[in-house]
Amino acid sequence: MYNPKSLKAEEFISDEEINETLEYAEKNKNNLSLVDEILKKATQRKGLNHREASLLLACDDKDKVKQMYDLAEQIKKDFYGNRIVMFAPLYLSNYCVNGCLYCPYHLKNKNIPRKKLTQEEIEKEVIALQDMGHKRLAIESGEDPVNNPIEYILESIKTIYSIKHKNGAIRRVNVNIAATTVENYKKLKEAGIGTYILFQETYDKKAYEYLHPTGPKHDYAYHTEAMDRAMEGGIDDVGIGVLFGLDKYKYEFAGLLMHAEHLEAVHGVGPHTISVPRVKPADDIDPNDFDNSLSDEMFYKITALIRISVPYTGMIISTRETPEVREKIIRLGVSQISGGSRTSVGGYAESERPHDTEQFDVSDNRTLDEVVNWLITAGYIPSFCTACYRQGRTGDRFMSLCKSGQIQNCCHPNALMTLKEYLIDYASDDTRKIGEALIEKEIDNITNESLRPKVRDELKKIETGTRDLYF
Ligand code: SAM
């Protein structure tokens, strides 16, 4: 029944295979020589399959767990250096016809005002985001074919890309909207989106149907097969994720990796990103209603094991997490974070953070400049780079550059150049000072020596007013 190449949800996310995997992991979790063998395989940096990774997740031998963390940190450094890509979510509309039990936008919630941004309001939001320094957005919307049809989403993307305020520009729009048709994915591709993101929420079909009792999202197969339709529609960078805290994390972890294996088996390219959101309090939502919450410690272990299992896949963490948790999981594997986020519809154009239409409580309330300052102080390079997809480095092209290690020749200089733009155009005095020192230090760390003078030239051009330079 289990078949990673099948296009049927229940065959590539086979419940039977997940249960057998969990049994296998439980049975072998104290078999330390097998754990060693898997860890040894992981050091080759070619990834692990869902069975191997699930066994490591089940193993709680202290020394072995430490080895997992150390290896994750090392792989993170080898593949992503000290760069952290920055983005912000932009909520377009909270109209929604679904009944998701964990989301305050569900149809029956009459406590919250419903709001959908007009194109003029989107312009205001985008100007506010550009004035913070953002270059990359993830647009978010509820599912409502009448209020938020695909035409509305497409028009909004066009508006976002068209706005050029001072030196600002949104150069990459990722899209997190409900599962849709191949035709609509084609339209999103034509509109020039970056990654199409859709969280599975839970891979367990029964739990999925319970948590999505009404609306189009109730259809487990349609939702689970969405990434195949997206790829058929020409979108080759897709982002998957689980809403941790809804169902059993070991089951979800195996399902997530099986989904990645399926995409690789069918389309020749795995997911571009994996997100690790955890369920948060919101208007009429209490995470304690779901009895599968995930401890911080287990959250760290899952992050580390995703890093080890799919070394080439970017990992995303949002402001659902506190600065302390973010600090820790950035080290273990996360490569992209949001900063200065507002999760309400129209939140950026307001001077005070509005709460009435928030999708969830934000746990990191710092401004983008504070987050950038914090990253630099901790030795990271905040990157506003959007070059890859604009240079056609997407899907399997991106993955093969990653696998050969060549991607570093682009990512590292691009991170420095986009940080330079940020420092000149948007940073506070202190952030500018420590950022300039970091850039100076990092130029010497560019591995390809012949690139160093070229990067210095480009940085000079940025100082004299040129923008949007990249390799
Ligand atoms: N409506 C689209 C969909 O169904 O996929 C767009 C996604 S929604 C705006 C973004 C994500 O927020 C959801 O996929 C869900 O995982 C997450 N989310 C919803 N309620 C949440 C909560 N209370 N805490 C944390 N994340 C939540």
User: Residue 92 has what pLDDT?
Assistant: 98
User: Residue 408 has what pLDDT?
Assistant: 84
Verdict on whether the full-model pTM lies above 0.95: yes
| Closest by Cα among 192, 273, 267, 183 to 231 | 267
User: Would you say the CB of residue 254 lies under 6 angstroms from ligand 1?
Assistant: no
The C-alpha atoms of residue 185 and residue 181 are separated, in whole angstroms, by: 6
Q: Atom 19 in ligand 1: which residue has the minimum CA distance?
A: 103
User: Would you say the CB of residue 143 lies under 6 angstroms from ligand 1?
Assistant: yes
| Closest by Cα among 137, 129, 143, 142 to 157 | 137
Q: Atom 4 in ligand 1: which residue has the minimum CA distance?
A: 178
User: Residue 433 has what pLDDT?
Assistant: 98
Q: Atom 20 in ligand 1: which residue has the minimum CA distance?
A: 103
User: What spacing in Å lies between the alpha carbon of 103 and ligand 1's midpoint?
Assistant: 6
Element (H, E) at 304: helix 296-309
User: Would you say the CB of residue 176 lies under 6 angstroms from ligand 1?
Assistant: yes
Computed over every residue of the chain, the mean pLDDT equals: 96
User: What spacing in Å lies between the alpha carbon of 73 and ligand 1's midpoint?
Assistant: 29
User: Residue 407 has what pLDDT?
Assistant: 84
Ligand 1 atom showing the smallest separation from residue 285 Cα: 23
Enter the tokens of residue 117. 């941004």
User: Residue 291 has what pLDDT?
Assistant: 72
User: Residue 223 has what pLDDT?
Assistant: 98
The upper half-sphere exposure of residue 424, i.e. CA atoms within 13 Å in the direction of its Cβ, equals 18
User: Would you say the CB of residue 236 lies under 6 angstroms from ligand 1?
Assistant: no
Contact call for residues 267 and 231 (beta carbons, < 8 A) = yes
User: Residue 178 has what pLDDT?
Assistant: 98
User: Would you say the CB of residue 180 lies under 6 angstroms from ligand 1?
Assistant: no
Q: Which of 103, 224, 244 to mutate to test the pocket of ligand 1 (most atoms within 8 A of CB)?
A: 103
Q: What share of the chain is helix, strand, coil (3-state, %, to 5)?
A: 50, 10, 40
User: What spacing in Å lies between the alpha carbon of 422 and ligand 1's midpoint?
Assistant: 30
User: What spacing in Å lies between the alpha carbon of 277 and ligand 1's midpoint?
Assistant: 9
Ligand 1 atom showing the smallest separation from residue 179 Cα: 5
Ligand 1 atom showing the smallest separation from residue 91 Cα: 9
User: Residue 405 has what pLDDT?
Assistant: 81
123-128: long-range contacts, CB 8 A cutoff, minimum separation 24: 123/159, 123/163, 124/348, 124/349, 125/90, 125/346, 125/347, 125/348, 125/349, 126/90, 126/159, 126/160, 126/163, 126/165, 126/170, 127/163, 127/165, 127/168, 127/349, 128/348, 128/349
User: What spacing in Å lies between the alpha carbon of 244 and ligand 1's midpoint?
Assistant: 11
User: What spacing in Å lies between the alpha carbon of 211 and ligand 1's midpoint?
Assistant: 12
DSSP letter (8 states) at residue 112: S
pLDDT digits (tens, 9 = 90+) for 158-201: 999 999 999 999 999 999 999 999 999 999 999 999 999 999 99
User: Would you say the CB of residue 199 lies under 6 angstroms from ligand 1?
Assistant: yes
User: Would you say the CB of residue 243 lies under 6 angstroms from ligand 1?
Assistant: yes
The C-alpha atoms of residue 184 and residue 304 are separated, in whole angstroms, by: 35
Task: Tell me if residue 150 falls in helix, strand or coil.
Answer: helix
> pLDDT per position in the chain (471 positions), as tens?
999 999 999 999 999 999 999 999 999 999 999 999 999 999 999 999 999 999 999 999 999 999 999 999 999 999 999 999 999 999 999 999 999 999 999 999 999 999 999 999 999 999 999 999 999 999 999 999 999 999 999 999 999 999 999 999 999 999 999 999 999 999 999 999 999 999 999 999 999 999 999 999 999 999 999 999 999 999 999 999 999 999 899 999 999 999 999 999 999 999 999 999 999 999 999 998 987 888 999 999 999 999 999 999 999 999 999 999 999 999 999 999 999 999 999 999 998 989 999 999 999 999 999 999 999 999 999 999 999 989 999 999 898 888 888 888 899 999 999 999 999 999 999 999 999 999 999 999 998 999 999 999 999 999 999 999 999
User: Residue 293 has what pLDDT?
Assistant: 81
To which residue do tokens 């040894």 refer? Answer: 40
User: Would you say the CB of residue 280 lies under 6 angstroms from ligand 1?
Assistant: yes
The C-alpha atoms of residue 259 and residue 257 are separated, in whole angstroms, by: 5
User: What spacing in Å lies between the alpha carbon of 372 and ligand 1's midpoint?
Assistant: 26
Q: Which of 117, 176, 200 to mutate to test the pocket of ligand 1 (most atoms within 8 A of CB)?
A: 176
